[in-house]
Amino acid sequence: MINLILFGPPGSGKGTQAAKIVEKYELLHISTGDLFRYEMGNNTPLGLQAKSYMDKGELVPDEVTVGMLRNKVEANPYVEGYIFDGFPRTVPQADALDNLLAEEGNEVHLLLMLDVPDEELVKRLLGRAKVSGRTDDMDESIIRNRIEVYKNETTPVFDYYAEKGKAAKVYGVGSIEEIFNRLCEQISQL
Ligand code: AMP
């Protein structure tokens, strides 16, 4: 089993690269952002709760996010491994993930961080808004808030795994194939 975390600021290419990694390594892709958008699309109580945070570019509270993640993992026990995308975003979420996997004698093997300069992120997200229809990509002030939230609340998760020798940084600018090859090079060292 290989369990990976694809990590990086909004717009760093996590979704695009996760799709390619899933294809190559046959992992189950779990994106908490996608799960929240699915719930929102179905107007579930969870979706309505998440919406108020997502619209502002704030993080959904840990208990809500961890509960949803746990359900998804527990519903899919017979997989070759997981690739977590957009999760964990706080140190308590990282703790919760480690505990959840440890219950099955499992662990996170590697966190891969996509490193992309801020101005490139803003440019990419404003471009994505035109095709994705994501309201949180349309407004530059919300995008900048999401980048700030990432820096303040989420980057400590990189250090959390780096201290365990389980984190690698990959330069996230270039062609999709080039970046994918950089990620595969790291995964091949496992
Ligand atoms: P994403 O699709 O990963 O960019 O996530 C979109 C939005 O969903 C974020 O701005 C948060 O409001 C919410 N979200 C997604 N994943 C998490 C998480 N792990 N913890 C808290 N909020 C999250």
CATH 3.40.50.300 fits 2-185, yes or no: yes
- What are the structural domain ranges in the chain? 2-185
Q: Which of 36, 128, 135, 147 to mutate to test the pocket of ligand 1 (most atoms within 8 A of CB)?
A: 36
**Looking at 37, 89, 124, 182, which residue is catalytic?**
89
Mean pLDDT of 2-6: 98
Condensed to tens digits (0 to 9), the pLDDT of residues 7-56 reads: 999 999 999 999 999 999 999 999 999 999 999 999 999 999 999 999 99
Alpha carbon of 14 to those of 2, 47, 104, 164: distances in Å? 17, 22, 26, 22
33-44 in b/e burial notation, b at 16+ Cβ within 10 A?
bebbbebbeeee
According to the model, what pLDDT value does residue 60 have? 98
Condensed to tens digits (0 to 9), the pLDDT of residues 116-162 reads: 999 999 999 999 999 998 999 999 999 999 999 999 999 999 999 99
Mean pLDDT of 104-118: 97
Assess whether 89 carries a catalytic annotation: yes
- Rounded distance between C-alpha atoms, residue 73 and residue 49, angstroms: 21
| pTM for the predicted model, two decimal places | 0.97
**Looking at 51, 70, 72, 128, which residue is catalytic?**
128
C-alpha 13, offset from chain centre: 10
Q: What spacing in Å lies between the alpha carbon of 104 and ligand 1's midpoint?
A: 26
- Rounded distance between C-alpha atoms, residue 100 and residue 104, angstroms: 7
Is the distance from the beta carbon of residue 7 to the nearest atom of ligand 1 less than 6 Å? no
